Structure 1
């Protein structure tokens, strides 16, 4: 969905940008009121000597951190001792001047990122504030125009899908490989043959169980291992599959989040020349289809 990186302010200007230590109590949402990227927004903030600062900027591609979250920011307009400035994690949403699709995506990314911050801290949705709550400024202006409650509902929807990290350390969004030794789903059903050795993304975590992308049943954490984001498992032995669902998407790449470039229909038979991450590459080269046994039958 987005990447997260840091470009932290230099310590020698803490006295200007973030002079006080802070134990955060809530999150404050802002709109930048310009069309700069998150990277440029943070670079400008840390590069000048103005008493204006924030912790994170979010655009349609990434989240960039500019201040340590254990230091205060000057963002809420409520003074040196104002609760907004002294107790809030400040999140700026980019592209709010012109709006449009870039802002819409930035807002979605911000909602997901804020949900992650809430979950990490064990906070509820009541911990999400707006700049306007601490001063008379109409901010976050475009988010308010679109409807503050809609933004809150978006955060709630993401919050429901981001459970507490398991005791083993697995988190939503990371890549894992299902071990060859795995035999059953967490429900007790036999594990599908093509799942073993394949790489999936963790979509939910619940105690000692994980829900993986394109797998309907939960798997045990003992049956998976973490892999780097660049790891790919592939086989090159070709085989035939028959489509057993009404319609199945063709993906541009071996990634379930990749662009849909076409469909295949029930009863059609295709040659698969390569397996990657639970998907099969069509011999025609047009793309990849899921090899989930719900959708295809290996011949």
Structure 2
């Protein structure tokens, strides 16, 4: 298949582009010019230039599928215009959403959306994609390769001399998580076999306690068994911004049973704690 990948130099997009190419698909990378100059696009047979803020640059009438993995702008109107442009090409569109659109608590692929403030725009975008015959893929917290949000926790542990996790009202959150390589394989499965109008969850571990992640991040920062503490969301907001800090404090338990069954997807990489500890200095 000929597959257009937006955001192909990003954390998720580059992993997906590489795995698609390994599977024999022809990858067309859509990037901003400065990004490709800086990092290149592994596995891409062709590079095109465009931007989600310019819908005309997203024309994709000559491809079989689109993986929309560009980092979101947070602007609902911009996001809707971008997916409308991608859907108009007639290709199968796989939209990268995220578990935060489900809100706090337990959820699976059939649960109604209840987006946290940081991602309110995604509810409307998901609906537009599904109504247009596209597919929605919701990754959990992505880790692996020394990148992603867990890498931020490692950096903060090094900065503060102890493991820290953002918490609200004294409650310890749990996170649904997914290794970047398992996620890339899921994207390939969705491109190849995912049903139009479907929702899939990219989750391997359903609910990992954040104290365990913070301890592993401290070890990865070279702090050994340094103390771990809750970082009040109000304090973290001054460092990370209120929206992002609030998102990190959300506790979730998200299942992907239907995704695994329908696509035969079986994530196999080490869990988030083991992955962080493997990188301990």
Q: TM-score, normalised by structure 2?
A: 0.24
More helix by share: 2
Which one scores higher on RCO, CA 8 angstroms, separation ≥ 6?
2
